[in-house]
Amino acid sequence: MSAVPTWAQLVYLLCAVGFILALKGLSGPRTARTGNLIGAGAAAVAVVLPFVYLDLDHLPLIIGAIALGSLGGVLGARRVQMTQMPQMVALFNGVGGGAAALVALLELEELGHVPSVAVGTFVLVATAFTVLVGSVSFAGSVITFAKLQDLMTSRPVVFAGLPVAFAAALIGSVVLGWLVVDGVALWAGVALGVMGLLVGVLLVLPVGGADVPIVISLLNAFTGLTVAAGGYVLGNVVLLVAGTLVGASGTFLTLLMARAMGRSVPNILFGALRGGSTLGAGEASDRPVRSAGPEDVAILLGYADRVIIVPGYGLAVAQAQHTLRELVELLQARGTRVDYAIHPVAGRMPGHMNVLLAEAQVPYEQLVEMDEINGEFKHTDVVLVVGANDVVNPAARTTPSAPIYGMPILDVDQAQQVVFLKRSMRPGFAGIENELLFDPRTTLLFGDAKDSLTKLLAAAKAL
């Protein structure tokens, strides 16, 4: 690789600082847009810079690939619905891991023409690591995409020999990695990549239901580590810093999400092998419940002094966030205190509800995290649950056999009255019934969330 001029190294350093500032900005909703722009700008500068100081071969192919990737990114960002954002994150994450693995293979081919004494052992270890983990991230992300997009079942896919096959794939990966390090063998690198694909598939197949977003976060950390290792192999400081940031933040996010679910990462990944994973959608219940129309719920809200809204994935599916905001503003104008209770894993990715409600111009001050608002439910007249289920299911506290047992939940069952907006009596993503639906204090308003909220808003205005 050609030496990087001092001025270019300084620009790369500024880009790295930009990534750090971007990550800081993304940590809060008020600064997220600015942080995103800073990160995008730093990435654009880092991509353009090699064209300035390097004499690149195959320039038309490089420019064509960048143009094609940019077009795909723009179209994806503009056309993908909010409900499909986790799938897009999974795909983008997988592409990053796959690209890092391919670059490492190309670098391995280059190293094959260099005398073995001139190739450092750690460089070969980093190359083998990038090929293996990048392939795992790519294959695993494709499976998570298929699960979330309903291209395959969201239930865990388990077969009798899965643990043995997974262990054999891991052992095979170690052996092939050793061959890469020992002999700079391109064929071993390609075989290692294929073995990594197998490991990625076997890793994600047993994961089901609400566990998939956590696996996306874990695979995101994997991709970050591969990019960092690839940056070391290529001698690129920007890749090293950016990959380290993504790997570290993805690891912390995975651990925080697992803690919010009340479970460990190994249990999330391998719980299905002993029946402990969330299982995906189950059968609809035919037990009797108390239901009401929009007019009755509007009267209930009209007499309430304190209301808490619990948004969930159903709100995102119906794209009803704007109508919900109008209803909340109407209640506030009449003197009702209203807040939104945000569970860490509501929706299908971290921050899903925050982004959804921010899109509807809901003030950030009204979005209250679970730990802060749980003490308020016992002083609340009405809780309006819109499209959520598992994050308010008391089985997480009362039923040891439940797949969500131990998961911290919103203490909705402590409120005076609870209103659920649901399409049907089908259970949540965890596949179990919510006993709160059958509580005497609970009222159900059936229908599409946007349609129900529109009727509820009209009824509230008529009071």
Active site residues: 390
- 3-class SS at 27? coil
* Burial readout 196-218 (b: 16 or more C-beta within 10 A, e: otherwise): bbbbbbbbbbbbbbbbbbbbbbb
Phi, psi for 260 (deg, rounded to 5): -65, -30
- CB-CB contact of 5 with 50 (8 Å): no
**133, amino acid identity:** V
Alpha-carbon span 232 to 66, nearest angstrom: 23
Q: Where are the strands (E) in 344-462, listed by range? A: 367-369, 382-386, 417-422, 442-446
Cα 288 to Cα 172: distance, rounded to the nearest angstrom: 54
CA distances in angstroms from 248 to 72, 245, 261, listed in the order given: 27, 5, 20
Angle between the N-to-C axes of helices 6-25 and 237-260, in degrees from 0 to 180, rounded to the nearest 10: 20
Rounded Cα distance, 380 and 414, in Å? 8
DSSP structure string for 168-215: HHHHHHHHHHHHHHHH--HHHHHHHHHHHHHHHHHHHTT--GGGHHHH
Neighbours of 122 (CB within 10 A): 11
**Within a 13 Å sphere around the CA of 347, how many CA atoms are in the beta-carbon half?**
25
Amino acid at 432: I
Angle value at C-alpha 363, between 357 and 368, nearest 5 degrees: 75
Query: Which is it for the CA torsion 203, 207, 212, 215, positive or negative?
Result: negative
Surface-to-core class of residue 314, CB atoms within 10 Å of its CB (0-12 exposed, 13-18 middle, 19+ buried): buried
Cα–Cα distance, 114 to 127 (Å, whole number): 15
Within 10 angstroms of residue 374's Cβ, the number of other Cβ atoms is 17
Closest CA to 449 of 333, 357, 332, 314: 314
